[in-house]
């Protein structure tokens, strides 16, 4: 068979499950028919085609997310999925870039010179000496377990962080990224509670929740890039871009759920504050857990 033609006329056997079929995909296991025993130039053409296709879908997805609130979710739910990157894959890609940039930005903000380290360590040693005279203790509750930290313990922990601030900041940001990832289904459930009459199935709200998180990261990426490229300034007008986030969320919910302006507004406020409260609780719990895993 000519390797450059689609398999639309001849019966072939699936290399994966041995099913005989006609077409480009096995009807039993879904594996694509692809002939790898062909000249190298065809492999190069296939690879270039896949890369170009991904780039096209990626830019189309990013454009839809940024410029047309709610359209990505609406079109994806309507079955127009081939033209876009799948929502979860797009979220992972965007969040990966966001946390890399955030880590870079934060590390630049907390850069500690050797002179400052010496000064801080001297102060810590002084506090360690004072800690031997008085036993002030701090209780840290994690579930049913309770840890008692003395001023000496806290000083030693501070010394560790001062020595390797980049390491501990990266570690904490990883915890935050995972907390957001696992809370997205919770946010989808909150949206389902408020908008279930418009979209009765939870899957629709989950896709929208994923896309909303991706958009927040996209705007944050733009802000971080500006701050990294133009670090030393008296004013930071890019911070006003944060106001676009609630406006975008409102317009997206208005388009997707087709509620009245007031109905959309009050549901947005309710869902946002419930989710914000749960997010703060989750971050506090995860911080305590992270603190325990790294220092206790």
| pLDDT higher than 90, residue 67 | no
Supply the pLDDT for residue 64. Answer: 86
Pick the more confident residue, 165 or 20: 20
% of the chain with per-residue pLDDT over 90: 17
Pick the more confident residue, 77 or 48: 77
Q: Which two tokens stand for residue 113?
A: 């010179």
Supply the pLDDT for residue 138. Answer: 46
Supply the pLDDT for residue 38. Answer: 56
Provide the 10 A C-beta neighbour count for residue 69. Answer: 24
Q: Which two tokens stand for residue 82?
A: 């081939």
Q: Which two tokens stand for residue 199?
A: 């979209």
**Can you tell me the distance from the alpha carbon of 65 to that of 210, in angstroms, rounded to the nearest whole number?**
11
Domain boundaries, the chain: 1-38, 86-295
Q: What is the number of helices (H) and of strands (E) in the chain?
A: 9, 4
**Can you tell me the distance from the alpha carbon of 57 to that of 222, in angstroms, rounded to the nearest whole number?**
20
Question: What average pLDDT score do residues 29-38 get?
Answer: 66
Q: Which two tokens stand for residue 155?
A: 């000083």
Cβ-based burial of 50 (10 A; exposed 0-12, middle 13-18, buried ≥19): exposed
Supply the pLDDT for residue 158. Answer: 66
| pLDDT higher than 80, residue 134 | no
| pLDDT higher than 60, residue 6 | no
Supply the pLDDT for residue 78. Answer: 86
Radius of gyration of the chain (CA): 26
% of the chain with per-residue pLDDT over 70: 70
| pLDDT higher than 80, residue 2 | no
> For 258, left (φ over 0), alpha (ψ -120 to 50), or beta?
left
Q: For all residues of the chain together, what is the average pLDDT?
A: 76
Look-up: residue for tokens 């979209």?
199
**CA-CA distances (angstroms) from residue 154 to 43, 110, 142, 159, 294?**
59, 19, 17, 9, 13
| pLDDT higher than 70, residue 131 | no
Q: At what angle are helices 202-229 and 244-257 packed, to 10 degrees? A: 160
Q: Taking the chain, what is the end-to-end CA distance rounded to the nearest angstrom?
A: 65
Question: What average pLDDT score do residues 110-116 get?
Answer: 58
Counting other chains too, the contacts that 256-263 makes at CB distance below 8 Å and 24 or more residues apart are 256/70, 256/73, 256/74, 256/198, 256/199, 256/208, 257/195, 257/198, 257/199, 258/198, 259/195, 259/198
Instruction: Judge contact between 271 and 259, C-beta under 8 A.
Output: no
> Which of 18-22, 142-146, 291-295 has the weakest average pLDDT?
142-146
Question: What average pLDDT score do residues 220-245 get?
Answer: 85
**Can you tell me the distance from the alpha carbon of 267 to that of 195, in angstroms, rounded to the nearest whole number?**
8
Supply the pLDDT for residue 188. Answer: 93
Q: Which two tokens stand for residue 290?
A: 């992270």
Pick the more confident residue, 57 or 207: 207
pTM given for the model: 0.69
Task: Give the 3-state secondary structure of residue 31.
Answer: coil
């Amino acid at each position: 068979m000519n390797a450059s033609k689609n398999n639309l006329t001849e019966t072939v056997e699936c290399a994966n499950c041995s099913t005989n079929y006609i077409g480009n995909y096995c009807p039993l296991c879904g594996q694509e028919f692809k002939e790898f025993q062909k000249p190298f130039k065809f492999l190069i053409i296939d690879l270039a085609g896949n890369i170009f296709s991904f780039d096209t879908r990626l830019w189309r997805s990013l454009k839809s997310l940024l410029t047309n609130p709610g359209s990505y979710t609406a079109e994806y739910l309507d079955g127009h999925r081939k033209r876009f990157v799948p929502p979860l894959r797009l979220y992972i890609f965007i969040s990966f870039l966001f946390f890399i940039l955030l880590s870079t930005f934060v590390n630049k903000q907390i850069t500690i010179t050797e002179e400052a380290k010496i000064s801080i360590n001297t102060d810590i040693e002084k506090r360690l000496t004072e800690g031997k005279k008085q036993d002030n203790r701090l209780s840290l509750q994690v579930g049913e377990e309770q840890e008692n930290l003395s001023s000496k313990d806290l000083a030693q922990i501070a010394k560790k962080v001062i020595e390797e601030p980049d390491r501990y900041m990266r570690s904490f940001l990883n915890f935050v990224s995972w907390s957001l990832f696992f809370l997205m289904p919770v946010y989808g459930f909150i949206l389902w509670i408020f908008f279930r009459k418009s979209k009765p199935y939870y899957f629709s709200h989950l896709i929208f929740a994923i896309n909303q998180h991706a958009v927040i990261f996209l705007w944050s990426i733009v802000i971080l890039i500006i701050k990294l490229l133009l670090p030393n300034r008296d004013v930071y007008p890019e911070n006003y871009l944060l106001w676009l986030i609630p406006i975008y969320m409102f317009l997206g919910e208005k388009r997707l759920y087709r509620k009245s302006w007031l109905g959309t507004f009050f549901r947005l406020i309710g869902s946002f504050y419930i989710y914000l409260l749960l997010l703060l609780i989750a971050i506090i719990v995860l911080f305590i857990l992270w603190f325990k895993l790294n220092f206790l």
